Amino acid sequence: MFKLFKDGLHVVKYRTLWLCLSALLLTPGIVAMIYSMINYPTHSPVKVGIDYTGGTIMQYGVQDDVKSSQVGKIRSELEADGVTGTYIQVLNVNPTTENNNIKSIISVRTKFIDEGSKDAETITNVVSKEYKNAELIQVSSVGPTLSSELFKKSFIALFIAILGIIIYVTIRFELKYAVTAIGGLLHDVLFVMGIFSILGLFYNVEVDGLFLTAMLTVIGYSVNDTIVTFDRIRENLRYYGKKMTFSEIVDQSVNQTITRSINTSLTTFLTLAALYFFGGVTTKDFVLAMMLGVIIGTYSSIFFCTMLVDLWEEKKQKKIEQQAA
Amino acid sequence: MKNKIIVFWLIVIIVAVCAFVGYKKPTKLGLDLVGGSRIMLEAKTTDTIQKITPEVMSRLQVAIENRVNKLGVSETTVTTVGDKRLLVEIPNVTDLKEAEAFLGKTALLEFKPPVLDKNGVQKRDEMGQPLWEPAEITGEDLNSAQIGTDQTGQWTVSLEFNGKGATKFAELTQKLVGKPMAIFFDGEEISAPNIREPIFGGRAEISGGASGFKYEEAEKMVNLLNAGALPVPSDIIEENTVGPTLGADSIEKSKFAGLLGVGLVMVFMILMYRLPGVIADISLVIYALILFALFKIIPVTLTLAGIAGFILSVGMAVDANVLIFERTKEELRAGRNLFTAISSGFDRAFTSIFDSNMTTILTCVILYFLGTSVVKGFALTLALGVMVSMFTAITVTRNFMHLVFGTGDLKYPVLFGLSKDEIGKGFDVQETKREKARFGILD
């Protein structure tokens, strides 16, 4: 069913093709990230939300169909009432009886509203004046101390995760596999972050604490996929190590595991897609990040990581030959 | 075959127990699903208390608990997080404004001296209510309050002031012997005891007058006093409040998305793997039963992110079965008999399943220890899911496969989604002698 080529897939032979494809996939995202780092006041590669900058978001559900162009009015009214620097977004949702027939969610983001500040009431008043039946459905607030701490913790978590995987794969396999698995992992993380960087630039998609969770899950998933392929290479090496070249074994292993790789990714993707299209609004971006991660993780474990392992082995063989000569 | 049947009945028992637990115990739902407030407070040091010790924290916790309980909402929890933080969780807030009002308010405990006229008699307003001066002593000066008894065995409330408070209290009581002093909590008078003598040393006792306190009265007063006696001020550093509308909506949507996702995976498995796919689907149902029972026993509070973790784990749970079935198909193509193909399919797939799941668990552990509480929920459900799936996808599926297919040759390859002429044409499977012995291969 998934035989892409009649006599199997040639990972090693078309190495340049896969390298170019990866470059093609990654470049737009990397450009967007560099652009963002230069232009955003936070100097972050992606647009970051209140989890990392601190701030307050108040969300109101309204039964009218609000257009994005209408939020300017709310903003100017807020300015008049002394609440400056707000950022307002409108999300359209399907009205149901469960959500009181809410058609749009207006979310107002401001700097962190401290205890005792009247800003929260001002915002509620302005929104309620503009839209009858506006219902405050969610308030999220992150103070400046916590946000910088979250930022630091995120980096530590990412670092420890990568380190842990290197150690685990080195113990179970070899350093060669560990390093290439990490190569694939960085490939996947860069891709997903790149896409979110682009989304941030064009659609104002912001990254929150859940995004980090999605990234770490993508890392786990990506390595998971890669390990299955490597496990097959390891097994085949034991049986055919003397009869076939390393490249042939890599190709054979990829072909033996490709159906599995695609099928498991499909099952995971199906569940995520159900969540994305029918699940709650709050976790949408989180699920999107994981969907992208699953797709790119499958690609990288089939094409990218295996190619890297082969490249590594080839370099090693050349060195041995040179030393012999 | 005998121990296969024993294992089968063990599985049946486990499933029955899990179904019972799942049916009996309610699921704990997170605040983002039922609606409610999560507030993180951070204690701040003051001139008098320059270090936040565990003792200060536990006093702060008691004080905050008392304040939160005044809201009259059931199942509020206050937990200490780290060295200097308190997590306050208030579920089922029907009105977001109510929670907000609570946030803005700092409970104020005040000790007010009376307004005296020239003759030293307390002034009263037109309604005949006694008048009080602005407070000189507040909750900041009070260390704690306890229930005690006096010599006659009556319930009393004893107060302990801190250093600064003790000095102020001594000065005030010296001036006010024989006169009342009122205790206000959030602007409401809770008691106005008479001062019998000057009190030095910062320890005072309030008795309930001639009739004495009832225990409940004394207890209520102690609670209020402690609630007002915040040992250190605290700041809100994080808040998340979800209205009940959004919560109900999220539950409905997650339920639908979850059922749809699981349904799609089940259909996919049957289309891809036929009869083994059906067996994998049965294992998947058992998986969900066990996991939900575990959620209830531990108990895991289900949040939106936790549900996402659960749904993701369903996709990953069949991963092991996909690996195993692909492997079994390969063995069948190579011409192995059924029993051997199934056994070696499981055995050979095991290392990849184990290694790949370990990396997922590894990332979950890191997320659990470094993440925020939202992230923790996700990591916990995903890690539990992966562990349970190792049991269902391997032990349960394997057992069912053997029981259904038995031994002998594969008579109907179509049950595996294979065609007859594929058999015996697979790649050359090679085993070491030891593996041959283990899989029962006879050449």
For the beta sheet containing B137-138, the strands, ordered from the edge strand earlier in sequence to the opposite edge, are: B137-138, B109-112, B182-185, B188-191
Residues of B within 8 A of A252 (CB-CB) are 427
Question: Are residues B181 and B254 both part of a single domain?
Answer: no
DSSP letter for each residue of B407-422: SS--S-GGGGT--GGG
At B439, the pLDDT band (50, 70, 90 cuts) reads low
Is residue B384, in this structure, part of any structural domain at all? yes
Mean pLDDT of A165-189: 88
Q: Is residue B234 part of a domain?
A: no
Which whole number is the average pLDDT over B44-48?
Answer: 72
A275 Cα to chain B: minimum distance (Å): 5
Whether residue B267 is found in the same domain as residue B203:
no
Residues B285 and B144 placed together within one structural domain of the fold: no
- Residue B186, pLDDT > 50, answer yes
CA-based nearest distance A324→chain B, Å:
33
Neighbours of A169 (CB within 10 A): 25
Side-chain-facing half-sphere of A133: CA atoms under 13 Å: 12
- Is the domain of B424 the same as that of B290? yes
- Shared domain for A85 and A19, answered yes or no, is no
Contacts of A211 (CB under 8 A, 6+ apart): A46, A196, A285, A286, A289
At position A312, the amino acid (one-letter code) is W
Q: Is the same domain home to B266 and B303?
A: yes
Q: Whole-prediction pTM value?
A: 0.78
In a shared domain, residues A160 and A272 = yes
Mutation pick from B42, B348, B356, B433 vs chain A, by most beta carbons of A within 10 Å, is B356
What CATH number did the domain enclosing A68 receive?
A: 3.30.70.3220
For position A4, what pLDDT does the model report?
46
Greatest CA separation for chain A: 85
**Do B224 and B100 belong together in one domain?**
no
- pLDDT tens for residues B287-343? 999 998 999 888 888 888 888 788 778 877 888 888 888 888 888 888 788 888 888
Determine, for residues A267 and B269 on separate chains, whether the beta-carbon distance falls below 8 Å.
yes
Task: Specify the number of domains making up chain B.
Answer: 3
Please tell me the distance from the alpha carbon of residue A128 to that of residue A272, in angstroms, as a whole number. Answer: 36
* pLDDT band for position A2 (cuts 50, 70, 90): very low
ipTM above threshold 0.95: no
What's chain A's average pLDDT? 85
Q: What integer pLDDT is reported at residue B428 of this predicted model?
A: 54
Report the number of distinct structural domains present in chain A.
2
Same-domain status, B268 and B411:
yes
Question: Is A277 at the interface with chain B, CB within 8 A?
Answer: yes
Most B CBs within 10 A among A242, A263, A294, hence the mutation to make, goes to: A263
Parallel, antiparallel, or unpaired: how do β-strands B182-185 and B188-191 relate?
Answer: antiparallel
More confident residue, B443 or A53: A53
Question: Which among A137, A216, A235 has CB closest to B363?
Answer: A216
Work out the pLDDT band at B284, boundaries 50, 70, 90: very high
CB contact under 8 A, A137 and B104: no
For A:130-149, CB contacts with B below 8 A are 135-143, 145-146
Same-domain status, B255 and B222? no
Chain B nearest-CA distance from A200, in A, is 22
Chain-centroid distance of CA B171 in Å reads: 48
Please give the structure tokens belonging to residue B69: 């309980």
Q: Is-contact A27 A322, C-beta < 8 A? A: no
Same-domain pairing of A247 and A151? yes
**Is residue A193 pLDDT above 90, yes or no?**
yes
Q: Which helix (H) or strand (E) holds B159?
A: strand B155-161
How confident is residue A27, by pLDDT bands cut at 50, 70 and 90?
very high
A225 and B323 within 8 Å at the Cβ level: the answer is: no
Q: What percent of chain B has a predicted confidence (pLDDT) above 90?
A: 7
Verify whether the Cβ–Cβ distance B304 to A283 is below 8 Å. yes
- Does residue A209 belong to the interface with chain B, where contact is any CB pair within 8 Å? yes
- pLDDT above 80 for A185: yes
Residue B259 lies in a domain: yes
Contact A145 B237 (CB under 8 A): yes
User: Contact, A26 vs A191, CB < 8 A?
Assistant: yes
User: Does residue A207 sit in helix, strand or coil?
Assistant: strand
Residue A135 lies inside a defined structural domain of this protein: yes
Percentage of the residues of chain A whose pLDDT score is greater than 90:
16
Shared domain for B314 and B203, answered yes or no, is no
- From the list A216, A223, A228, the residue facing B323 with the nearest CB is A228
Range of the domain at B52: 32-106
What CATH number does residue B429 fall under?
Answer: 1.20.1640.10
A217 CB near a chain B CB, below 8 Å?
yes
Task: Please give the residue range of the domain that contains residue A312.
Answer: 15-46+146-324
Close Cβ partners of A259 (under 8 Å, ≥ 6 residues apart): A1, A2, B326
> Do A209 and B258 make contact, defined as CB atoms within 8 angstroms?
no
Same domain, B291 and B423: yes
